[in-house]
Amino acid sequence: MDSFKKPEPNNFKLTEFRRDLHNRHKREVHMRKERLRAVETRFLAKQMITVDTSRARTNCDVVRMCIKELGLKEFPFGRKEHCDIHWHAFSYEENPDLYGGKVNKFPGMTDICSKMMLFRSLDQMRELFPSDYDFYPRTWYMPTQFHEFSCEVRKLTEKRVKPRPTYIVKPDSGAQGEGIYLIRDPVDYTPSPNGKCHVVQEYLSHVYLIDRYKFDLRVYVVLKSIDPLDIHICKDGLARFSTLPYETPTYKNLHESFMHLTNYSLNKRSTTFNRSERSDEGSKRTISSVFAKST
């Protein structure tokens, strides 16, 4: 006897009804988008700069605010004709149909946004041009180069180098200061449980300070062209400060993230974070105010 049981007629009709309802909804949404595009295109001034934000994703709010302030025209669902600017949240490669306009990311940008890929590229350039690429600390890739890293630390220990070197461990794809820590001994390196990689670098312990606090500068640039190289630098930027007075690394203070790291997303959780309304004081300042204070 055949064990296959045909679906009940009522269930079958209900399934067909839901599918039809879903398809009808998709058609209505598509028609609304097409009508919106048609209206927007009809009243578009010839000199109006257009921006396609259909792939902006998490960047969309800030991009939309800038578009409004600059008096540009946004196309949130894209446009049949190409826009003057196409804003991509991740990479240019995600939009293979693009045939005109400008994009906010060059092909290959995702590679240098990864710490490991970035420093591997710099290491390759250092091999070719040693004197031109000596501006960044020596780097090891973990866990692959754990043996080389251990041998280097052992050599320095045997030479009794003073002060004893400190190393900073950073997750390859991490952000906002999460997962960063300092070590002095290779045995203190903790491999990621999910198999993710790290970069380990020499920690620069002698740093510039302002009011005894460590800081970094966030400079905003627009890379308009790679060949020829065309870079536009914003007139101002941000200076991010740690929230504990800086001390040279010791075993007692290696764990003090609020002292050694300057990430805003990390330090804003500190009880000593200074939310000043002035641009020249507090834990987050303008670069222009820092330069004015240092002169």
One domain for residues 124 and 85 = no
Position 199 scores a pLDDT of: 93
pLDDT at 97: 66
Of the candidates 204, 221, 245, which is a domain's last residue? 204
List of residues 6+ apart from 85 with CB closer than 8 A: 49, 50, 51, 52, 72, 101, 102, 103, 104
Same domain, yes or no: 213 and 162: no
- Token readout for 256 is 């003090």
Scan for tokens 């692959």, then name that residue.
144
**Which residue carries 């709010």 as its tokens?**
61
In this structure, is residue 89 part of a structural domain?
yes
Q: Is 241 helix (H, G, I), strand (E, B) or coil?
A: strand
CA distances from 75 to 43, 59, 63 (A): 13, 14, 12
Give helix then strand counts, H and E, for the chain.
8, 14
pTM: 0.72
The last residue of one of the domains, among 53, 76, 105, is: 105
Flag whether 3 is in a domain: no
Structure tokens that stand for 240 in this block: 């991010």
Residue 247 in any domain: the answer is yes
Kindly report the CATH number assigned to the domain that includes residue 169.
3.30.1490.20
Q: Indicate if 91 and 128 belong to the same structural domain.
A: no
Q: Is 156 domain-assigned?
A: yes
| Domains of the chain: total | 3
Verify that 184 and 226 share a domain, yes or no. Answer: no
Residue 191 φ/ψ, nearest 5 degrees: -60, 145
Of 52, 73, 105, the last residue of a domain is: 105
Specify whether 248 is located in the same domain as 270: yes
**Based on the domain organization, do 86 and 42 belong to the same domain?**
yes
172 domain residue, yes or no: yes
Q: Which two tokens stand for residue 113?
A: 């946004």
pLDDT in the model for residue 154: 92
Task: State which amino acid sits at residue 292.
Answer: A
E strand spans, the chain: 50-55, 73-75, 85-88, 102-103, 139-142, 167-171, 181-183, 198-202, 209-210, 213-218, 221-225, 230-233, 238-241, 284-286
Does any domain span residue 4? no
Per the structure, the complete domain to which residue 179 belongs is given by 114-204
Q: Are residues 284 and 196 in the same domain?
A: no
Residue ranges of the chain whose pLDDT lies below 70: 1-15, 17, 33-47, 91-99, 294-295
pLDDT attached to residue 193 = 79
Residues 127 and 199 in one domain: yes
Residues 122 and 171 in one domain: yes
Cβ distance 249 to 272 under 8 Å?
Answer: no
Q: Examine residue 190 and state whether it is found in any structural domain, yes or no.
A: yes
Q: Write down the pLDDT at residue 37.
A: 59
Do 233 and 172 share a domain, yes or no?
no
| Structural domain contains residue 78 | yes
The Cα 129–Cα 127 span in angstroms is 6
Q: Residue 92 has what pLDDT?
A: 64
